[in-house]
A and B are shown apart, each in its own frame.
Chain A
């Protein structure tokens, strides 16, 4: 693939993967992955821990080489100058513990080609914005975990990247800081930047993403525009709040259901009509507070297609831990 002019550039997807495969010894970490991240979108790469998200991102960043397939960035080879337009927040956060905060940020920015004076100016600006200006001369090791996370985030955006690749960006952050960083991500998107972030938290992806790619066990399950995915999904969901017994719930048209604090959330079989459910409920003589035909959640779509829960704490949490154990000892 050869370079094109800057004008045409903008119509190319920010990231394009074709048939990408990565093996670690016997283990296939990424299998035949196609991925297209449109320019200016917020894209979620979703899946349980150990499903190949981090490996995929590392290949996009050129840290790992794919065994097969092609990767292009902004419509061309992911060479050094294209990668310099990417801001990358790895899953494993890391800073030089003994370096001073400001010094460290200037170092990271200069590695991306920002001249020293500009690097200092921007670092000071961001530190002030995130309320860390009084820590600029402190060593990283003297900062709290949350502050370190913020410093790391600043290091990711200092060179004003056109593409932000964030691997589990909000894990381990308290809700307040999570909101702060989230608003910065939105800000970058408004300015035209593309955001790719990976998460195993479906709810977060549902709230933030325009497009998603669901992967499980190193394979892509499905991908595309989130609203279209939900619309195309023939699975219906009915939410009923009620008082009384729930013998009426199971029956024709029902795939399965979850209890909620106020009632049940029922997943219907493909193309099933919700009407008979309402009739059954009325016949059962329960007191109905709410009856709503809803859209499936991302998580429900994932389970339907992957056949395994993606997160659903606490069961999901347990599963993730198992996966983590299983994936130990490989990058």
Chain B
């Protein structure tokens, strides 16, 4: 019946977690965000009449006799349903149907098309910009292909579009980057921004939770049952679990939307060719794993500091001010991130990424864009682990004294005394 940390810490974590997850704010923020994102993708398309119900049927009139054979499959690849019009009588009927709104319109290609690629689209409304682009591209490429000889078709077209510059990172033999380093850059920036964002948010959540316990005088009641470090650990892990839950919901819903929801909802997936490149932009399992390491270790470093700040203060206003130095530890590396992403192998990048308080954001960026020597990775992870221990030691002492202290905020020398004496 006697209580041990193995039993009480989970109780503290569970309380923190359940209390937060049950709030309206969490539910709205977690489930609302993806719904909101989905909405801003879909609503404009519905408003533009290009939603699920939009007409995708077009009639194709070919006055040259050579274009239709190649144009029709291209249009169909682009998400259109094509109906070939054979003669003038059929053309009149098609125009009549377009006028009635039964089909989207009639695309007319003629000699002019073969000369300069222009064509006419006759319909009730003009199609969306994306669709116009898709039509123009299909017409142009077909015209071009017809003008060139058959067997030259594919290769010449490819040449016209320009080849990509493949990046073969030496020392990373298996992985040839077809996006020309852009993917690494994007992953580095977006990932680091995400780290920056969630570390600030959840750190702040820890701070306010500690402050609530202090100002509500709950700390002493709980501290008569468990030591201060357990309360602090329970809080940090509890809030961290809330963060992971939120991220998990976001990632899962993003995957769900991308793989099921959006393609089904967007009828002209063919027009969004860039989606096909998406896999090349997705981070490798290794980068993803390092992201998780950075998130978890960074979270422990910063949230312990935020907990100590919360314990030092007695009001929200005081805490807003006092947390600035801790916030700077997250903001400064984010500011330094862009130059590091541009040149990940400079001494500046190297040193700043090995500084444990900057490692989570900067080292992640470096790992995403380039190859970081194994020893540097090792040093950075060990550095973060050491920082966690050091911060937990210092913050734990400040927390222990501060959480029971009412009145004015301690000065720096006073803080030092707390750390030494506690």
Contacts and interface: CB of A to CB of B under 8 A. Distances in A.
Interface stretch (B112-120, B279-287, B344-352, B400-408): B400-408
Q: Which of A81, A98, A111 lies at the interface centre, i.e. has the most chain B CB atoms within 10 A of its CB?
A: A111
B221 A86 contact: no
A63 B1 CA distance: 22
B222 A111 contact: yes
B417 A329 contact: no
Given A84-B3, A113-B7, A329 B404 contact: no
B217 A111 contact: no
A25 interface: yes
Interface stretch (B58-66, B166-174, B223-231): B223-231
A114 B12 CA distance: 14
Nearest to B219: A94
Contacts of B219: 94
A95 B221 contact: yes
B405 A81 contact: no
B309 to A, nearest CB: 18
Give the interface size class of chain B. Answer: 20 to 34
Nearest to A90: B220
B8 to A, nearest CB: 6
A63 to B, nearest CB: 5
A97 interface: yes
Interface in B391-416: 401, 404-408, 414
Interface string A84-103: 10101010111111110000
Question: How many interface residues does chain A have, given as a range?
Answer: 20 to 34
Contacts of B404: 58, 63-64, 331
B11 A107 contact: yes
Given A25-B417, A80-B3, A107-B11, A88 B218 contact: no
B216 interface: yes
A111 B11 contact: yes
A94 B221 contact: yes
Given A84-B2, A90-B217, A111-B8, A63 B417 contact: no
Interface in B67-107: none
Given A61-B224, A112-B225, A331-B405, A80 B2 contact: yes
Contacts of B405: 329-331
A112 B213 CA distance: 19
Contacts of B19: 96, 98-99
B15 interface: yes
Given A95-B221, A99-B19, A155-B221, A113 B2 contact: yes
B228 to A, nearest CB: 8
B409 to A, nearest CB: 10
Contacts of B12: 111
A83 interface: yes
A203 to B, nearest CB: 27
Interface in B173-207: none
A328 interface: yes
A88 B224 contact: yes
A63 B219 CA distance: 10
Interface string A24-35: 010000000000
Contact of A107 (B4, B15, B223): B15
A117 to B, nearest CB: 13
Contacts of A99: 15, 19
Contacts of B221: 88, 90, 94-95, 108, 152, 155
Residue of B221, B222, B414 with highest tally of chain A CB at under 10 A: B221
A63 B407 CA distance: 18
A86 B3 CA distance: 13
Contacts of A63: 220, 223-224, 404
A293 B360 CA distance: 79
Contacts of B407: 328-330
B216 A95 contact: yes
Interface string A63-86: 110000000000000001101101
B337 to A, nearest CB: 38
A104 to B, nearest CB: 9
A94 B217 contact: yes
Interface string A310-331: 0000000000000000001111
B304 to A, nearest CB: 21
A108 B221 CA distance: 9
Contacts of B417: 25
A90 B224 contact: yes
A125 interface: no
A230 interface: no
Interface in A119-167: 152, 155
A114 B2 CA distance: 8
Given A328-B406, A331-B401, 18 more contacts: A58-B404, A80-B4, A81-B3, A83-B225, A88-B221, A90-B217, A92-B217, A93-B217, A95-B216, A98-B19, A107-B15, A108-B225, A111-B8, A111-B12, A113-B1, A328-B407, A329-B408, A330-B405
Question: Top 7 closest A-B pairs, CB basis?
Answer: A94-B217, A329-B407, A113-B3, A94-B218, A92-B217, A88-B224, A81-B2
